[in-house]
Amino acid sequence: MKFEGTAVAMVTPFTANNEVDEETFRSNINFLIENGVEGLLAAGTTGESATITFDEQKKLIDILIDEVNGRVTTFAGAGSNSTDEALNLVKHSNDAGADFALVITPYYNKPQEHGLIQHYKLINDSVDMPIVIYNVPSRTGVDMSVDSILEISKLNNIVGIKEANPNVDKTSTIYKSLIENNLEYEFFILSGNDDLTIPLMSVGARGVVSVVANVDPYRTSQMVNSFMNGNIKKAKDLHFELYPLMKVLFIESNPVPTKYALNLMGKSVGHVRLPLGSLTKEHELDIEKCLRKLDII
């Protein structure tokens, strides 16, 4: 199974009582679909997976699949620093009917390369569903090597990678290795950094798992689709149009700025959970200014 285009790493809305806001989550799903995205991710890093419970994580996956109802591709955030916990989440994602499980490299415990391979092999061998691995060294403390990615890509259920290493050369090397092993049509690469989507697509990526698309799904999907359809000028123009938003939404820890922006837009996604704190006043002004310049508010 393949994916190409824009998948949105959705925020998790919370009520004033600090519970998952199902009504707002469903509303945001429809807002994003109506604005042309090809996929939606629930309970990923942007969805505050580190501070939601496993029951909440499973609930979000269930709501996503129910509300989407086959209209776009569904990604279930299903990673953990424990292989057993990750496998439990992947099994739930499979039973719930997700199209893909997104499984981050285990964080904090900094596994060796052979440990990473064993981690993904066990999950691959235990569940029959498409799995996308997620490499984000700035979050996890481990950067999966190209050799390990290539070895894991040969597993039958591992179908792609969300690559958030900011080194464009690494993605180029991954794609070159896939070509050399006749895997470029079996294993896809998605950008994990909004500001590198177009650069990474130029060296083989097939789209993005986007934070920015929470706020501007239409222009983000238009940017990606323009590149894929060969309209490079339009893709570049949209990249630079969105570039200030790509930067300001990471002015503090993700998803703090994105949730603030969505609240300004009237999406009522609520607060972030501790230990993340509210946005500083000076950055509130930066975000508001950027949104107004882009006619988002």
Phi and psi dihedrals of 132, rounded to 5?
A: -110, 125
Average pLDDT, the chain: 97
CA distance 74 to 98: 5
Active site residues: 134, 162
126 band by pLDDT with thresholds 50, 70 and 90: very high
Whether the pLDDT of residue 105 is over 90: the answer is yes
Task: For the full predicted model, state whether its pTM sits above 0.95.
Answer: yes
Q: Give the DSSP H or E segment for 132.
A: strand 131-135
Question: Measuring CA to CA, how many Å separate 289 from each of 115, 128, 255?
Answer: 46, 47, 18
Q: What is the mean pLDDT of residues 266-295?
A: 97
Confidence grade of residue 29 (pLDDT, cut at 50, 70, 90): very high
219-278 confidence digits (pLDDT tens): 999 999 999 999 999 999 999 999 999 999 999 999 999 999 999 999 999 999 999 999
As a whole number, mean pLDDT of residues 74-87 equals 97
Task: Kindly report, residue by residue over 138-161, the tens digit of the pLDDT.
Answer: 999 999 999 999 999 999 999 999
- Please tell me the distance from the alpha carbon of residue 101 to that of residue 202, in angstroms, as a whole number: 26
The predicted structure's pLDDT at residue 1:
83
Which among 129, 200, 116 is positioned nearest to 163, based on CA atoms?
Answer: 200
Domains and CATH numbers, the chain: 5-231 (3.20.20.70)
48: confidence class by pLDDT, cuts 50, 70, 90: very high
Local confidence band at 94 (pLDDT 50, 70, 90 cut-offs): very high
Per-residue pLDDT of 156-210, as tens digits, reads 999 999 999 999 999 999 999 999 999 999 999 999 999 999 999 999 999 999 9
% of the chain residues with pLDDT over 90: 100
Which helix (H) or strand (E) is 42 found in, with range?
strand 39-42
- Both structure tokens of 9: 């790493």
Residue 208 is inside which H or E element, if any?
strand 207-210
